[in-house]
Amino acid sequence: MFGFGEGKRYNTFAGYYRSRYGERLQKIVLDAGFTCPNRDGTAGRGGCTFCDNAAFHPGYSVPDKPLSRQMDEGIEFHRRRYRHAEHYLAYFQSYSNTYADVDRLRSLYVEALSHPAVAGIVIGTRPDCVDERKLDMLAAIASGELLPGWSRQVGGRTLSSPVVTVEYGIESCYDSTLRRINRGHDFACAARAVEMTAGRGIMTGAHFILGLPGETRGMLLEQTSVINRLPLHSVKFHQLQIIKGTAMEKEYEEHGEDFLRFSMDGYLDFIIDILERLRADLYIERIAGEVPPRFVNETPWGLVRNFELLRMLDRRFEERDTWQGRKLACSGKSSSVAR
């Protein structure tokens, strides 16, 4: 009815992989020992006010282990958890994973792609950590030029070049917010990085945090029109979680009135409000974040897992009888962009 597949009322990224590659592709989180220009003084000191990287990656992913060992342990972990996964994506997640010279980056990415169960790479990074040479190198990997003879049998078909996705932490489209969270770059920088990446035919994703200090519901709904104009393939949304020991924890204690906080039911409704305003061709990779309880001072939603939230989201879509892009369709605006 809605054209999204799998009976969904929105475009799921997991569904994209299944329809495009014939099977589930599970991410294996890797820590390649990168840092961040917002920590070493290049762009700033102390990092973003919300950030503690330890809260966002699993125990097997630590920089003192070789990538091959991290991948083996990650695959074993996920094979117990997701028994139907046969191929994996090496997910360079911790810190800024294009923050090195091209030769080092190429070596790390090629090493990950040499694992026989790995069908591609996902690179999490900051918009201010890419340039023409790095993106040209990634485009050469995505085309197979840098990996002659590379192939994988995935979903009953032969891949002659790996899956390559770059995922940018944009967090907000508002410069006032980016300054307040000590991001170290403006939104124009993020827009340029997305356009440069997508312009090379590389799948491009973006991450946004909902509830950053100073932002209102109206601002977050208006932000969707900016997201729609970017040549993105996928988006992730996370509710703001206040991590212990961060600068944002102190700011929240002192200026809690500046923070938009959600009940679980309220958040699900707000996510639907956002998805109604997003292009129908954008794939939604996540709607919420999960942080181990030991890293946060409060767990207002209890210990609800992401898969439970997704089931609740499906039910709420049906109750509201709506779908991704509906508000754009009603307004007569285009719900897609050229790729």
Largest pairwise CA distance in the chain: 58
What DSSP string describes 205-248? EEEEEES-TT--HHHHHHHHHHHHHS--SEEEEEE---BTTSHH
Rounded-to-integer distance, Cα 186 and Cα 178, Å: 7
CATH of the domain at 198: 3.20.20.70
Is the Cβ–Cβ distance between 115 and 71 less than 8 Å? Answer: yes
Residue 210 lies in a domain: yes
Residue listed under structure tokens 């091209």: 102
Looking at the domain assignment, is residue 334 inside a domain?
no
Number of domains in the chain: 1
User: β-strands 163-171, 283-286: how paired?
Assistant: unpaired
Closest of 170, 164, 95 to residue 135, by C-alpha:
164
Which of these, 182, 184, 203, lies nearest to 194 by C-alpha position?
A: 203
Is 64 inside a domain boundary? yes
Q: What are the phi and psi torsion angles at 331 (to 5°)? A: -85, -10
What residue type is 77 in one-letter code? Answer: F
pLDDT at 78: 81
Residue 62 counted as domain residue: yes
E strands in 226-332: 234-239, 283-286
**Within a domain: residue 339?**
no
- Beta partners for residue 125, in sequence order: 168
State residue 205 phi and psi, 5-degree precision: -120, 165
Residue 294 pLDDT: 79
Which of 312, 325, 318 has the alpha carbon at shortest distance from 277?
Answer: 325
Helices 132-143 and 102-113 sit at what angle, rounded to 10 degrees?
20
Domain span including residue 105: 13-329
Is residue 37 one of the residues assigned to a domain?
Answer: yes
Whether residue 335 lies inside any domain: the answer is no
Q: Is residue 72 part of a domain?
A: yes
d(CA 159, CA 149): 11
The length of the chain, given as a count of residues: 339
User: For residues 58 and 74, what is the distance between their CA atoms, to the nearest angstrom?
Assistant: 9
Report pTM.
0.92
Q: From first to last of its 339 residues, what are the pLDDT tens digits of the chain?
A: 567 877 899 999 888 988 899 888 999 999 999 999 888 888 878 888 888 766 556 667 778 889 999 999 998 888 776 666 789 999 999 889 999 999 999 999 999 999 999 999 999 999 999 999 999 999 999 999 999 999 999 998 999 999 999 999 999 999 999 999 999 999 999 999 999 999 999 999 999 999 999 999 999 999 999 999 999 999 999 999 999 999 999 999 999 999 999 999 999 999 999 999 999 999 999 999 887 777 887 767 777 888 899 999 999 999 999 999 999 877 766 555 433
